[in-house]
Chains A and B, each alone.
Chain A
Amino acid sequence: MKASTLVLILATTLAIGAAVLPWPGERATPTQRVIHVNARQFAFDPPRLHVNRGDQVTLVLHATDVVHGLYLDGYDVNLKAVPGISAQATFVADRAGKFRYRCSVSCGSLHPFMIGELVVGPNTLLWRAIALTTIAATGALAFLYTRSREVAR
């Protein structure tokens, strides 16, 4: 078999492996958490939350200036807090990865970009993507190199 074909097969196999094989990363025992998030024009505080997969999370949203919302991507959470009256929701963080939470109530000019991040760890999606990208890049270079050597011969 030609070297370039071999490279192609090898890289594809590795890439598929990186995308679907079970990924190492320990799973912490699930806990219960209560997280307070303050919303102001145009940021959440804290801007990034970390929980572990399986945790039961209670989000409490406080609005500090005007009415704000919190819509969490991928989870069925949509809160609305008025200054002085907070809102809360409880859910189980059963999917790993990064999920943005966004303001869901028009609160001013930068409202569409008022964004926070919930990282449900271990964030295997990121590591899979990095592995996949590295394999793709090295594979592509190895393929181009072996191909051009075959052509040169």
Chain B
Amino acid sequence: MTQARAPASRRRRAPTPHPVSVPRFELTSIRWLDAILRWRPLQFTLIAATLGFFVLAILTSLVGTPVGNRNFGIIFVWIVWWALVISLLVPLAGRLWCAVCPIPAPGEWLQRRAFIAPRPLRTLGKRWPNRLKNIWIQNFAFLGVAVFSAIILTRPAVTGLVLLAFVLLAIGLSLVYERRIFCRYFCPVGGFIGLYSMIAPLELRVKDPEVCRRHKTKECYLGSENGFGCPWLVFPGSLKRNAYCGLCTECLKTCSMNNVALNLRPPGLDLLVSKERGLDEAYKAFIMSTCALLYSAILLGPWGALKDAANMEDWRTWVVYAIGFIAMNLAVVPGLFYAATWLSRRWARLSHAPTRQLFIDFAYALVPLGLMAWIAFSLSFVLVNISYALPVLSDPFGWGWNLLGTRDFPWTPYFPARIPYLQVPILIVGLIFGLYITWRIANEHASAPEQALRSVVPIAALLLVVTFGFLGLYLG
């Protein structure tokens, strides 16, 4: 019904032990929490707050000072918000950011012609083409933002225009298509949140899938007088992974069978759901890991020529840089991974599993390491630059205001020499977590521990080399 993805990539062989048997704690069994989540104005209230910040960020970016570290937009989007999302919200709560994100809000309110009360949607109601029901657009959108990152991160006006473009695109899409097409298929931020949200120990799931199967009216998907049908085009009844559920809690409000729950569970389970894996998601994992590595070299490294190229000092060098950047993401890293998969298949004699299938499956082992690498990377510039947040709170436009009296707070890097002592354990945790996932995936295909071990070794070696790469950039 939903989650229609490229059929070829969904085929699979060995059955995965369904991770449903693991212990879970149902958060919605806490009365007051359940009441808050079901309170209709909740979403609007939260989004109204983030929208306020967002509008301020766009305004300050567009008309405020062009000096990045004096501009509210740059500091609050790329340091405060980024640190919050990648180091706290995603690892702990998955897509929780999407629940409060202001970007789709104007389009959604137009579609609904309402802020709170459920009403029939008003759009052209076109259906999204089947061919595009995957995250390739999102992958390319992320890459597109990534090659320009040095420009976007440091020029307030460019940041402002990019944010504005996101909102306009989201509005345009919601006028033509049903529901949140922008979130589901376009948003570059949603791409990485979705991938890494599979690790989070928080999930929205139905309590009993059997109840859903027998329930004919399916309000969670179609909507009812209690709420809208799933804005993310997901059918909660068959939801097994966090990747595409925006935690908007509409289904919690609509389901008349009281069958939807928010759970705490062991982290990373979704990476073991073999049925919904696909090449598009595998590439998301490659792109994200590669970008973490490249950013660590370009932005945090000492190489001036690389910074000049990324900063478009001269467009010819930039073209070479961009080609190199994209080739690393789409060809070199996936190529190395493919080679490791090929070795693994040969050495472990996994001839019953197609290489392509193994390639896709094993790519999910990069997800924990990738997330931890992003956190390690972010620490390097967040702790050093977070003190800029105080002056811009007092003087968001950089016009010399001093609203809170903090305008002249000096740049203060916080214990920069200690950061490596945090980065090493973070990377090691990511690596061990990644190896565990590799092991579990290997066991989907291998029939004995020896065979599993053989198939794991080439992938493990590659993960280890990648980790060494990060260690070299941070400590070497």
Does any Cβ of A come within 8 Å of B381's Cβ?
yes
User: CB-nearest residue of chain A relative to B443?
Assistant: A148
A11-B338 Cα distance, complex, nearest whole Å = 30
Q: Contacts A110-B307, A112-B381, A116-B302 known; A126 to B154 CB distance under 8 Å?
A: no
Specify which chain B residues have a CB less than 8 angstroms from the CB of A47 in the assembled complex: 302-304
**Could you tell me if A48 and B302 are in contact, using CB atoms closer than 8 angstroms?**
yes
B301 within 8 A of A: yes
Tell me if B385 is interfacial: C-beta within 8 Å of chain A: yes
Q: In the assembly, what is the distance between CA of A126 and CA of B420, in Å?
A: 9
A33 within 8 A of B: no
- A88 to B: closest C-beta gap in Å: 20
Check A133/B467 contact, CB under 8 A, given A47-B302, A123-B476: yes
CA of A112 to CA of B154 in the docked complex: distance in angstroms?
A: 8
Asked if B68 lies at the interface with its beta carbon under 8 angstroms from chain A, I say: yes
Complex: A73 Cα to B468 Cα, angstroms: 23
Q: CB distance A123 to B475 under 8 Å?
A: yes
Contact yes or no, B416 A73, CB < 8 A: yes
With A48-B302, A106-B69 as known contacts, state yes or no: A133 contacts B416, CB within 8 Å. no
From A42, A109, A116, A141, B453 is in contact (CB under 8 Å) with A141
Q: Is B384 an interface residue, CB under 8 A from the partner?
A: yes
Closest Cβ neighbor of B432 among chain A residues = A140
Known: A102-B413, A113-B300. A141 touches B439 (CB 8 A): yes
Q: How far is the CB of B271 from chain A (nearest CB, A)?
A: 15
Q: Interface with A: B51-59, B108-116, B423-431, which one?
A: B423-431
Closest CB in chain A relative to B274 CB, distance in Å: 18
**Contact at B302–A44, with CB atoms within 8 Å?**
yes
Q: How far is the CA of A25 from the CA of B381 in the complex (A)?
A: 31
Q: Is A110 a contact partner of B416 (Cβ separation < 8 A)? A: no
Contact A112/B436 with A42-B311, A43-B304 known, Cβ cut-off 8 Å:
no
State A42–B381 Cα separation when bound (angstroms): 16
A140 partner residues in chain B, CB cutoff 8 A = 432, 435-436
Are the C-beta atoms of B154 and A109 separated by less than 8 Å? yes
Is A136 an interface residue when CB atoms closer than 8 A count as contact?
yes
Proximity bits, A118-144, B CB within 8 Å = 1, else 0: 000001011001101110110011001
B interface list, Cβ under 8 A from A:
67-70, 150, 154-155, 299-305, 307-308, 311, 381, 384-385, 411, 413, 416-417, 420, 424, 427-428, 431-432, 435-436, 439, 443, 448-449, 452-453, 456-457, 460, 463-464, 467-468, 471-472, 474-476
30 contacting pairs across A/B (C-beta < 8 A): A42-B304, A42-B307, A45-B304, A71-B413, A73-B416, A73-B417, A74-B416, A97-B417, A98-B474, A111-B69, A111-B154, A112-B68, A112-B69, A113-B299, A113-B307, A114-B307, A115-B300, A126-B475, A129-B424, A133-B427, A136-B432, A137-B460, A140-B436, A141-B435, A141-B457, A144-B435, A144-B436, A145-B449, A148-B449, A152-B449
